[in-house]
Amino acid sequence: MIVSKFGGTSVGSAKNINKVIQIVSNKNEKTVVVVSALGGITNLLINASELAKIGDIEYETTLAEIKSRHDKTIEELFKEEDRDQIKIYVSNVLGQLKETLNGVFLLKDLSDKSLAKIVSTGEIISSFIIARSMKNQGLNAVLKDSRELIKTDSNYINALINNDLTYNNINTFIKSNTNDIIVFPGFIASDSKNETTTLGRGGSDFTAAIIAKAVNADVLEIWTDVSGMFSANPKLVKQAKPIQQISYQEAMELSHFGAKVIYPPTIQPVLDKKIPILIKNTLAPSEKGTLISKNINGNQSIVKGISHIENIALLTLEGNGMVGVPGISKRLFESLSQEKINIKFITQASSEHSICLAIDVSEAKKAKETIDKQFEFEIIQKKIKPLVVEKDLAIIALVGDNMKSHQGISGKMFSVLGNNNVNIRAIAQGSTEKNISAVIAKRNVKKALNSLHAAFFESHIKQINLFIVGIGNVGGKLLEQIKQQQEFLLNKLHLNLKVIAISNSKKMFFEPDGVDLSNWKTLLNSEGKTADLNEFYKNVKNLNLQNSVFVDNTANNDVPKQYINYIKDSVAVVACNKIACSSEYDNYMNLKQLSREYNAPFLFETNVGAGLPIIDTLNNLIASGDKITEIQAVLSGSLNFIFNYFNDKTSFYDVVKQAGIEGFTEPDPRIDLSGVDVMRKILILIRESGVEMELEDIDNNSFLPQSSLDADSVDDFMETLKTEAKHFNQIRQEAETKGCRLKYVAEYKNGKAKVGLQHITKDHPFYNLDGKDNIVLFYTNRYKEQPLIIKGAGAGADVTASGIFGDIIRTGNK
Ligand code: ADP
Ligand code: ASP
Ligand code: MG
């Protein structure tokens, strides 16, 4: 015999009920079908009860919604001629419900007995509709009210089964029954006085397990809306996969810690008889699902799943008066048990100085009152402190039978959480070592689940979540490169790069599942919101994704002010924007220091020499114990381009304009031509060499005439390049007569730095520097006579974008 339970979503609509009937009609042995209320109805019933209890007439609206949900299903499920009869039955049941709710409303009192009666309505109606529909479709089915067979105590909301009586009743009934299919309402039962009781939220699973045990079924099938028990809640972890096989104990632990796909008490009855449980998807019946059984075959992973419970409160009882005093824990647990408060997690400090408990937050107030009362005497004597209650927490648990025989699982768990800036409030390891659980802030749940899942189940794949500000020349190229490389990175480097948000100065667009990079311009324009740096930051913070990287492709002064916020949230920062690293030394150092503290990389390779590996090389020299003694460099791709192409056939104005068009200058060319851009770059190299220096400490010997220096706007400035043509021609001719070339050189020597135009002779390594190339000569303790030279394209959107790309990949290696 098979016992098949269909959950709320499986019977949530006429379409799904037909799927259920299809599944059941394919069975060729006797089948017991246990059904839940239509999805969402139990919640509505509870909601209506609560409204009625506080005297809010709005309960009638909820009631109307309950009625219309059922009416709609009946209309879609039944032929016109059958509908009336069914509707009469349903309106009868709903009429009784209305009366009970009205009583609650008038008395403003909701007893557990009334509540059980109210919520039982969902299963009473659903089982009636489903059994009737089966019969109408020609199946040999019968409905049996579970309340006649499943007998419990009078704890109406979480009733305990009277085992002997119940198993006997079920057995006798089923043995004498000749139908192919028996439909039972799940969740509901009755006490010795035949009053309706319920088995706790999610209790239909338990009904099915009791019946399975009573009839010694071959298998207990739990049909739901997902294809099995997943390695983590699939609604929160996209990469989660169904677990093919799992032991009873593992399933029990996972469900205890929140994997609500199966109600925890369900497992015990079938475990007693070693009846396997098969979790299947009603919406995709051909998928394998999860088999829960005693013996599991094949290679099993050490960690089977990760589950979590939200809405947790942590209670800490603490005090010197607890040390070595017997009976404290007993009193603590007894007082909670008297109030029927369920403890989900316990840890005790080895000093016995404190005990930590986790419970559902809804019970925190009651717990505080009862515990403070229990220890009133000790609290007055200051031997124990009043109970401390912390809220907005969650429990996250790793589960696996084999964890006990493997070391380092908890270490890995904590380092993964630590790396993602998830603070752990308390830790517990079950005595069976089948679970390790930790209490964390509720807001970190999604991040914690995803990063733990990545570490334990997708160890080979790391998802990096990108938030990109600045999508002009450089940013646009970056998006292009990411799109092109995504597959390669996934296959070769096991990195899954996802662009979660993009923004320019006008609009910003967020897509938590990843922006479609073949369509980003349209998405930004049609669906983007008004750009706002603070809002952007808030969104990143709220999404709270693991391995997040903020990418600044702008030359904007305000964007870098946000770096500190990102870093403090453990979001890595990758910038081609030089403002932050060339601002006050303290600010630069602070960012670097915070980056270490929060384990959030702060990378800016493209600040100097675009994609050339200049800063990386410098960092490697320093890290390996070398010391920089002198730097000589041509660091401005734009100035190099300009002086390379400035000759007697072109005007200075034209070459500057051309450099702008080609994207080699900063958006404001004055930054390049004044030498400020080069000053910033050499400053960054000096600082990365370990020397403290400010921008003002650098000598800038400008080649610009006063009128250009004084220009107020870009246009005025460009104009002066025309009017001062003579000045520029003269500079060029002076160099030419000496057989020299003009290079804008940055130098650092003997602790001093300067930038300026220099006459470069033929024998100098800078002489043949083409186009927009950069060159850097590092003289160090190791490279004394012959410097270490890095040379290559130092400007341009493509190479800059690839430098940023490199930094992004590097954040993945943290
Ligand atoms: P039903 O109405 O069928 O009883 P439930 O809503 O009680 O369904 O349980 C199924 C839901 O459990 C899934 O939709 C999923 O959101 C949630 N869930 C939580 N953790 C897990 C997990 N580890 N594996 C599968 N589902 C899970
Ligand atoms: N309908 C009940 C609930 O929602 C029981 C169940 O679905 O298992 O809790
Ligand atoms: Mg359920």
- 507-543 confidence digits (pLDDT tens): 999 999 999 999 999 999 999 999 999 999 999 999 9
Cα separation, 236 vs 774, whole angstroms: 47
> Residue 269 C-alpha to ligand 3 middle, in angstroms?
17
567 or 458: which carries more pLDDT confidence? 567
Closest-lying ligand 2 atom to the alpha carbon of residue 263: 8
Alpha-carbon dihedral sign for residues 477, 478, 480, 484: positive
Residue among 16, 157, 204, 205 whose CB has most ligand 2 atoms within 8 A, to mutate: 204
Which of 142-146, 245-249, 406-410 shows the lowest mean pLDDT across its residues?
Answer: 406-410
Bridge partners (DSSP) listed for residue 424:
440
Whether ligand 2 lies within 6 angstroms of the CB of 744 is answered as: no
Whether ligand 2 lies within 6 angstroms of the CB of 186 is answered as: yes
Whether ligand 1 lies within 6 angstroms of the CB of 242 is answered as: no
Q: What is the pLDDT of residue 350?
A: 64
Residue 158 is classified by DSSP as: B
Whether ligand 2 lies within 6 angstroms of the CB of 189 is answered as: no
Inter-CA distances, 287 with 25, 279, 297, Å: 18, 10, 19
| Residue corresponding to tokens 């000093």 | 351
Closest-lying ligand 1 atom to the alpha carbon of residue 39: 2
Burial class from Cβ neighbours inside 10 Å (0-12, 13-18, 19+) for residue 473 reads: middle
Residue 322 is classified by DSSP as: G
> Residue 199 C-alpha to ligand 2 middle, in angstroms?
9
> What confidence tier does 653 reach under pLDDT thresholds 50, 70, 90?
very high
Whether ligand 1 lies within 6 angstroms of the CB of 8 is answered as: yes
> What confidence tier does 321 reach under pLDDT thresholds 50, 70, 90?
confident
Question: Distance between the two ends of the chain, CA-based, in angstroms?
Answer: 55
Whether ligand 2 lies within 6 angstroms of the CB of 260 is answered as: no
> Residue 631 C-alpha to ligand 3 middle, in angstroms?
68
- 274-283 confidence digits (pLDDT tens): 999 999 999 9
Q: What is the pLDDT of residue 431?
A: 67
Whether ligand 1 lies within 6 angstroms of the CB of 224 is answered as: yes
> Residue 34 C-alpha to ligand 3 middle, in angstroms?
12
Whether ligand 1 lies within 6 angstroms of the CB of 307 is answered as: yes
Query: Which of 602, 606, 669 has its CA nearest to residue 635?
Result: 606
Average pLDDT, the chain: 94
Closest-lying ligand 1 atom to the alpha carbon of residue 223: 3
Closest-lying ligand 2 atom to the alpha carbon of residue 37: 1
Cα separation, 179 vs 143, whole angstroms: 10
Which numbered ligand comes closest to the C-alpha of 258? 1
Buried/exposed code over 773-794 (b: 16+ C-beta within 10 A; e: otherwise): bbbbbbbbeebeeebbebbebb
Long-range contacts of 695-699 (CB under 8 A, 24+ apart): 695/582, 697/752, 697/753, 698/753, 698/754, 698/755, 699/752, 699/753, 699/754, 699/755, 699/756
Whether ligand 2 lies within 6 angstroms of the CB of 37 is answered as: yes
> Residue 128 C-alpha to ligand 2 middle, in angstroms?
16
Say if residues 511 and 538 touch (Cβ distance below 8 Å).
no
Q: What is the pLDDT of residue 698?
A: 98
Report the share of the chain in percent with pLDDT over 90.
85
Taking the CA atoms of residue 593, residue 538, residue 239 and residue 23 in that order, the dihedral angle to the nearest 10 degrees is 160
Q: What is the pLDDT of residue 728?
A: 97
> What confidence tier does 600 reach under pLDDT thresholds 50, 70, 90?
very high
The radius of gyration of the chain's CA atoms, rounded to the nearest angstrom, is: 36
- 695-725 confidence digits (pLDDT tens): 999 999 999 999 999 999 999 999 999 999 9
What are the residues whose beta carbon lies below 5 Å from ligand 3 (ion)? 7, 202
Q: What is the pLDDT of residue 211?
A: 98
Residue among 36, 42, 233 whose CB has most ligand 1 atoms within 8 A, to mutate: 233
- 286-296 confidence digits (pLDDT tens): 999 999 998 77
Q: What is the pLDDT of residue 313?
A: 96
- 43-53 confidence digits (pLDDT tens): 999 999 999 99
Which numbered ligand comes closest to the C-alpha of 40? 2
Shortest-distance Cα residue to atom 12 of ligand 1: 261
Residue 31 has pLDDT above 80, yes or no: yes
> Residue 111 C-alpha to ligand 2 middle, in angstroms?
19
Listed in sequence order, the residues at least 6 apart from 401 whose beta carbon sits closer than 8 Å to its beta carbon are: 247, 249, 250, 300, 304, 434
Residue 73 is classified by DSSP as: H
Which numbered ligand comes closest to the C-alpha of 126? 2
Query: Which of 747, 794, 786, 743 has its CA nearest to residue 768?
Result: 743
Listed in sequence order, the residues at least 6 apart from 462 whose beta carbon sits closer than 8 Å to its beta carbon are: 454, 494, 495, 496, 547, 812
Q: Which residue out of 344, 385, 507, 681 is catalytically annotated? A: 681
> Residue 278 C-alpha to ligand 3 middle, in angstroms?
14
- 391-402 confidence digits (pLDDT tens): 999 999 999 988
Q: What is the pLDDT of residue 562?
A: 97
Instruction: Report the predicted TM-score, pTM, of the whole model to 2 decimal places.
Output: 0.73
Q: What is the pLDDT of residue 402?
A: 83
Whether ligand 2 lies within 6 angstroms of the CB of 8 is answered as: yes
Residue 681 has pLDDT above 80, yes or no: yes
Which numbered ligand comes closest to the C-alpha of 36? 2
Which of 127-131, 326-330, 543-547 shows the lowest mean pLDDT across its residues?
Answer: 326-330
Q: What is the pLDDT of residue 814?
A: 61
Residue 536 is classified by DSSP as: H
Q: Is 681 a catalytic residue?
A: yes
Q: What is the pLDDT of residue 459?
A: 67
Taking the CA atoms of residue 702, residue 703, residue 706 and residue 709 in that order, the dihedral angle to the nearest 10 degrees is -60
Alpha-carbon dihedral sign for residues 299, 303, 309, 313: positive
